[in-house]
Chain A
Amino acid sequence: MGQDIYKEIDQDIHTDPMILQMGPSHPATHGTVRFTLTLDGETVVKCETEVGYLHRGFEKEAENSTWTQVFPYTDRLNYVSPLLNNFGYALAVEKLLEIEVPERCNYIRTIMGEISRLSDHLTCIGAGALELGAMTAFLYAIEGRELVWDLIEEVTGARLTVSYGRIGGVKDDLTPDFAEHWKATRERLIEIHGITDKLLTRNRIFLDRMEGTGVITPEAAVSYGFTGVTLRSAGVGYDVRKDHPYFCYDRVDFDVPVGEHGDNFDRYLVRMAEVLQSIRIIDQCLAQMKPGPVNSDDPRVVLPEKAKVYNTIESMIQHFKIIFEGVQVPPGEVYSYTEGGNGELGFYIVSNGTGKPWKIHVRAPSFIVMGGIHKLFEGSLLADIIPTFDTVNMIGGECDR
């Protein structure tokens, strides 16, 4: 009887939808995006996304630099997994040049790429937990990331923006004691994975916030161009490493975790599983690797050794020409794609035969996900936006280039 009175009162209250700006600088969105949300109570009715707050003109800068000078710009695309971008771009240029890199280089690229992917997934899991209030999980994930960055620093010299890839190879071979350091790091990483798992996976609050929110169907995901973890969590098992293998992915044994429901919790679980798979890939690669040359031996592309450059005139001229005029890439276009941290990272490169690219276009997985993210938000509550946006892992550098 009491309920009847309330019903009548509710019918008299007239509500209007409210427009809320989740503006470019917001604590819960890591990355600058702007959402203009139309809210009906707490439910999101319409969401308009605005990106471009980190547009730095990567493509225009690439047109003004030589082929090798583009590598630092590619670092800053998906800045949590810079090595994957480096190697994706190097692969694209090598396709245009039609050169092959030696086997050891492929193994090194696979190893360093998977280490970078570890860094990406740990950051995403940690930051996602942080936004939901689980600061402890964040600190553990960042500790894991610091260990990974120690490894990267040992090999490449820098923690975050490495510029390690080169056309025709990599900058330097792995350090001699890399394998031991990896063994020690690996134990700690598996421990951290276990701790984060224990803290989050069966946590009532975490489950309540992540399960059933941000759902997308497989058909919508394919139509909106999602790739990577967002697509695999919806049930479509598309992974560039398995479907169109490159580097050494056809020689190692790994699984591709595929989710079922397409919600946030599935994305979190897929990421956790991919961490273990990456560790598995690195172990196998280190076991299979043999000593050998690291750079391709094509003299038009690879710099000669320093000893020869300082002592012979031919090497000095070769060094000079490669650095000043850039690698002369034959004219043509190519679209080359690899599995970046967030999905399929594609490079569409056009060359006009000189040492500078004519055009480089990056198919950024985050940009395309942002184009379809209103589908994930509409119909859900305002508080569900936070875990959805975090698990989708929008990286501003990649989205806006």
Chain B
Amino acid sequence: MGLEYSVPENVVITTRLDEVVNWARKNSLFQYPFVTACCGMEYMATASARYDMARFGAEIPRFSPRQADVMWVVGTVNHKLAPYLKRIYEQIAEPKWVISFGVCASTGGFYDNYATVQGIDKIIPVDVYIPGCPPRPEQVLDGLVKLQEKIELEPWRKYAYEEKKRSRDQAAGPDENPLFQRVK
């Protein structure tokens, strides 16, 4: 409303491609909610009428990894589930981001035992960690805004794609993928 009335007709706007692409990306994030545990209740509460996640553009949960941008890993991931998490992450098309929601996903929470993965960053690269057990919806929205700020500042050709291209041209073998630095 405001913008449409204050800008005169027949106008050309110049800006940097970076800014436009990142602005479009951050304001229309399609989510893949990988919900496992109690944090899922707070995720549902954040997506509902009181603390609305839709006003940040991140409205729709797209339950197919091919159509999603952001993967929300909500709740505890244990070793039984880890291969499926990795597979779904690999299926999401670039550019993609990962939000780890809750302490169980960030560091394993207080389940320091044989069953739980001590943080999903041992399996997939994570962009934003939202601590809390479970985090309050305001904290979740803060994490979402931080992700939006991160998207705004990064190069629009997301580095992972560039890295992949470079590694495909230069790499000697399949082990030399700089995306995943394996601990020997």
Closest to A145 in B: B45
Contact status A146-B45, CB under 8 Å: yes
B116 close to A (CB within 8 Å): yes
Could you tell me the distance between the alpha carbons of A159 and B138 in the complex, rounded to whole angstroms?
A: 13
Closest to B137 in A: A159
Choose among B42, B49, B110 the residue that contacts A160 (Cβ–Cβ < 8 A).
Answer: B42
Could you tell me the distance between the alpha carbons of A57 and B50 in the complex, rounded to whole angstroms?
A: 34
Closest to A119 in B: B41
Contacts of B116 in A (CB 8 A): 56-57
Contact status B37-A72, CB under 8 Å: no
B88 close to A (CB within 8 Å): yes
Main secondary structure of the interface of A (DSSP, over half): loop
Interface residues of B in 70-86 (CB under 8 A from A): 75-76, 78, 80-81, 84-85
Choose among A25, A26, A161 the residue that contacts B133 (Cβ–Cβ < 8 A).
Answer: A161
From A47-55, A193-201, A287-295, A334-342, the one touching the partner chain is A47-55
Choose among B40, B78, B88 the residue that contacts A55 (Cβ–Cβ < 8 A).
Answer: B78
Contact status A72-B110, CB under 8 Å: yes
* 0/1 interface trace, chain B 130-174, chain A, CB 8 Å (1 if under): 000110100000000000000000000000000000000000000
Interface size, A (range): 20 to 34
Choose among A25, A80, A138 the residue that contacts B41 (Cβ–Cβ < 8 A).
Answer: A80
Contact status A60-B114, CB under 8 Å: yes
Contacts of B45 in A (CB 8 A): 142, 145-146, 149, 159
Contact status B81-A53, CB under 8 Å: yes
Could you tell me the distance between the alpha carbons of A85 and B15 in the complex, rounded to whole angstroms?
A: 57
Residue of A25, A60, A145 with most partner-chain B CB within 10 A = A25
Could you tell me the distance between the alpha carbons of A336 and B136 in the complex, rounded to whole angstroms?
A: 33
Choose among A60, A72, A123, A146 the residue that contacts B113 (Cβ–Cβ < 8 A).
Answer: A60
Closest to A146 in B: B50
Could you tell me the distance between the alpha carbons of A80 and B37 in the complex, rounded to whole angstroms?
A: 10
A259 close to B (CB within 8 Å): no
Could you tell me the distance between the alpha carbons of A123 and B42 in the complex, rounded to whole angstroms?
A: 12
B23 close to A (CB within 8 Å): no
Contact status A54-B111, CB under 8 Å: no
Contact status B136-A61, CB under 8 Å: no
Choose among A25, A30, A145 the residue that contacts B88 (Cβ–Cβ < 8 A).
Answer: A25
Choose among B42, B80, B110, B113 the residue that contacts A53 (Cβ–Cβ < 8 A).
Answer: B80
Main secondary structure of the interface of B (DSSP, over half): loop
A32 close to B (CB within 8 Å): yes
Q: How many A-B residue pairs have CB under 8 A?
A: 87
Interface residues of A in 14-54 (CB under 8 A from B): 23-27, 30, 32, 52-54
Contacts of B136 in A (CB 8 A): 159
Contact status B88-A57, CB under 8 Å: no
Quick one: given A53-B80, A54-B36, A143-B48, are A27 and B63 in contact (CB under 8 Å)?
yes
Contacts of A73 in B (CB 8 A): 110
Could you tell me the distance between the alpha carbons of A123 and B88 in the complex, rounded to whole angstroms?
A: 27
Could you tell me the distance between the alpha carbons of A229 and B141 in the complex, rounded to whole angstroms?
A: 35
B20 close to A (CB within 8 Å): no
A76 close to B (CB within 8 Å): yes
B126 close to A (CB within 8 Å): no
Q: How far is the CB of A133 from chain B (nearest CB, A)?
A: 14
* 0/1 interface trace, chain A 101-143, chain B, CB 8 Å (1 if under): 0000000000000000000000100010000000000110011
Could you tell me the distance between the alpha carbons of A123 and B80 in the complex, rounded to whole angstroms?
A: 27
List 20 interface pairs A-B (beta carbons < 8 Å), by A numbering.
A25-B34, A25-B88, A53-B78, A54-B37, A54-B75, A55-B78, A55-B80, A56-B76, A56-B111, A57-B113, A57-B114, A142-B50, A143-B50, A145-B45, A146-B45, A146-B48, A146-B50, A159-B134, A160-B38, A161-B38
Residues of A within 8 A of B (CB): 23-27, 30, 32, 52-57, 60-61, 72-73, 76, 79-80, 123, 127, 138-139, 142-143, 145-146, 149, 159-161, 396-397
